């Protein structure tokens, strides 16, 4: 299966790569990557180990020079406008560095002084935004992992970025911290920004992302809205009695529009075009087989990922 909907257009394009390629010696880490990220969107970037995700992020931030191809961010070429572009990006690609003995507030104040033009009311706003205002006078070293990560996001927000790049933002967080960050991410995008999220957590990507690109060995193998990807993997679960199971399977396999039929946990799993519940029911009933249940079953992003990447580990 190969999906590429990168030509679809709705909303302003914030980031576009064309033919982006990076070779390390003879190793093609990223090959001919065409990405598009639009305002208001949370874009998930997935791939197995060594697929080329970090190399891509490094190129987007101007830290790694591409071998070929172009990167345009905010309509400007990155190569020629690195600093004006980077000023408009908030990136968290490693654990954020803060002074342990200073409070969250004082850390942001120190950062604000380095950037210039950051007011107290801005600091208050961003701390409120990440739900840290009530702990903002406590020392950074007393913060939980989740609070540290949220302060990192607050630090990124101080500059009012139009694009936020997050690399594994829930790494090392407990379930409560993970939930806080997951709840925060879509809100960030809906404030007229775009979020580029690298994650190996497929469930996380499914929950928070609007669109997802999957790369394998440097090549993009899927690029589509999450909803569309999981709908593509939709199958029908058909329940018949054990006695009818074999005959039902034969009937369905004989229909030219059914792609495959397999038996799993007491159900027949039927890979058929969308909305074919009624014709499946009719075909069985014509052979005096009566299904007690026919339900569409959505594939998870994990199912799709494993199918597309050939079952390679994603962690
Ligand atoms: N500086 C480098 N020199 C040589 N090869 C490199 C370098 N950086 C990355 N690579 C190789 O490029 C390929 C892509 O690596 P990259 O780190 O981008 O993958 P990734 O998708 O981020 O992987 P992971 O999920 O494991 O972090 C790998 O084969 C890696 O070994």
Cβ neighbors of 210 (< 8 A, separation 6 or more) are 41, 42, 43, 189, 225, 226
Distance 46 CA to ligand 1 centre (A): 14
Of 22, 26, 29, 201, the one to substitute when testing ligand 1's pocket (max ligand atoms within 8 A of C-beta) is: 29
Rounded-to-integer distance, Cα 143 and Cα 47, Å: 31
For strand 219-225 and strand 3-4, is the pairing parallel, antiparallel, or unpaired? Answer: parallel
Residues of the chain with CATH 3.40.50.300: 3-230
Residues of the chain with CATH 3.30.70.100: 234-297
Rounded-to-integer distance, Cα 39 and Cα 25, Å: 35
Which is higher by pLDDT, 26 or 302? 26
Which is higher by pLDDT, 6 or 70? 70
Output the six-digit token pair for 57. Answer: 């992020």
Angle among Cα 185, 212, 145 to the nearest 5 degrees reads: 35
Closest CA to 211 of 201, 224, 202: 224
Is the model's pLDDT at 263 over the cut of 80?
yes
Closest CA to 48 of 231, 207, 218, 169: 218
pLDDT tens figures, 105-143: 999 999 999 888 889 999 999 999 888 999 999 999 999
Cβ–Cβ under 8 Å, residues 60 and 165: yes
| pLDDT cut 90: percent of the chain above it | 49
In this structure, the residues whose C-beta lies within 6 A of any atom of ligand 1 are 24, 27, 29, 47, 49-55
Report whether CATH 3.40.50.300 matches the domain 3-230.
yes
Average confidence score pLDDT of the chain: 86
Is the model's pLDDT at 249 over the cut of 80?
yes
Rounded to 10°, the helix 104-115/120-129 angle is: 130
What pTM was estimated for this model as a whole?
A: 0.78
ipTM of the complex: 0.97
Whose alpha carbon is nearest atom 23 of ligand 1?
A: 50
pLDDT tens figures, 43-62: 999 888 888 999 999 999 99
Please, what CATH class does the domain formed by 234-297 belong to?
A: alpha beta
Phi, psi of 107 (to 5 degrees): -60, -45
Q: What is the pLDDT of residue 71?
A: 97
Of 54, 61, 63, 171, the one to substitute when testing ligand 1's pocket (max ligand atoms within 8 A of C-beta) is: 54
Q: What is the pLDDT of residue 186?
A: 86
Closest CA to 237 of 198, 184, 276: 276
């Amino acid at each position: 299966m190969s999906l590429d909907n990168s030509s679809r257009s709705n909303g302003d394009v914030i980031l576009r790569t064309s033919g982006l390629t990076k070779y390390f010696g003879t190793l093609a880490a990223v090959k001919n990557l065409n990405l598009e990220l639009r305002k208001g969107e949370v874009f998930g970037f997935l791939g197995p180990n060594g697929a080329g995700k970090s190399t891509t992020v490094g190129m987007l931030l101007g830290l790694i020079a591409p071998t070929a191809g172009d990167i345009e961010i905010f309509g400007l070429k990155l190569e020629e406008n690195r600093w004006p572009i980077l000023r408009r990006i908030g990136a968290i690609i490693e654990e954020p560095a803060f002074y342990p003995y200073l409070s969250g507030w004082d850390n942001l104040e120190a950062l604000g002084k380095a950037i210039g033009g950051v007011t107290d009311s801005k600091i208050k706003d961003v701390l409120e935004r990440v739900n840290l205002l009530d702990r903002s006078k406590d020392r950074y070293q007393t913060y939980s992992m989740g609070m540290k990560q949220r302060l990192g996001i607050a630090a990124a927000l101080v500059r009012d970025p139009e694009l936020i790049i997050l690399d594994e933002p829930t790494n090392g967080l407990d379930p409560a911290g993970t939930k806080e960050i997951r709840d925060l991410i879509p809100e960030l995008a809906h404030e007229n920004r775009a979020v580029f999220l690298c994650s190996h957590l497929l469930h996380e990507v499914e929950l928070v992302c609007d669109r997802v690109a999957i790369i394998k060995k440097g090549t993009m193998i899927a690029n589509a809205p999450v909803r569309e990807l999981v709908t593509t993997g939709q199958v029908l679960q058909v329940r018949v009695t054990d006695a009818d199971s074999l005959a039902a399977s034969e009937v369905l396999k004989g229909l030219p529009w059914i792609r495959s039929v397999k038996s799993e946990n007491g159900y027949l799993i039927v890979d058929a075009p969308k909305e074919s519940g009624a014709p499946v029911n009719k075909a069985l009933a014509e052979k005096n087989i009566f299904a007690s249940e026919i339900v569409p079953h959505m594939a998870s992003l994990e199912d799709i990922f494993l199918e597309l990447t050939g079952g390679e580990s994603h962690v």
